[in-house]
């Protein structure tokens, strides 16, 4: 009977030790997850900032170009320079808010179109 009590005590002790180890490991995992989440949040914030800066630059440049080259003229949509390229980039930025780098090809296309338009005038 005494051996049975010792065996139960031994099993209970092992279970408590296992539980303690599991809880310690879980705390380590939680701490690591918190660090990773903070890094991801910072990365996302950086991308959001870059996106906002790019949008502001594009809006400023578009307004500046419109004032410089249109000078209050009323145009039909077919006469608006780079309308398709601007529309494509706006759609891309709208659909890929989390990764504005996907839209780099559209940015290049708009820059090329703007260069051609300026050179033509």
pLDDT at 94 > cutoff 90? no
pTM tops 0.75, yes or no: no
Q: Where are the alpha helices (DSSP H) in 1-121?
A: 2-70, 83-95, 104-120
Residue 77 pLDDT class (50, 70, 90 cuts): low
Mean pLDDT of the chain: 87
Please report, for the chain, the start and end positions of each structural domain, with discontinuous segments joined by +.
2-120
**Amino acid 45: pLDDT:** 95
Distance CA 74, CA 46 (A): 39
- Tokens at 34, concatenated: 């918190």
**Amino acid 100: pLDDT:** 78
């Amino acid at each position: 009977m005494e051996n049975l009590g010792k065996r139960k005590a031994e099993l209970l002790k092992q279970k408590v030790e296992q539980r303690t180890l599991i809880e310690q490991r879980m705390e380590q995992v939680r701490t690591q997850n918190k660090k990773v989440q903070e890094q991801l949040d910072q990365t996302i914030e950086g991308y959001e900032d870059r996106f906002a800066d790019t949008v502001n630059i594009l809006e400023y440049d578009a307004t500046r170009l419109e004032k410089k080259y249109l000078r209050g003229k009323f145009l039909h949509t077919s006469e608006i320079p780079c309308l398709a390229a601007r529309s494509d980039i706006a759609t891309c930025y709208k659909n890929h808010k989390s990764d504005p780098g996907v839209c780099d090809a559209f940015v290049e296309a708009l820059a090329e179109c703007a260069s051609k338009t300026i050179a033509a005038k």
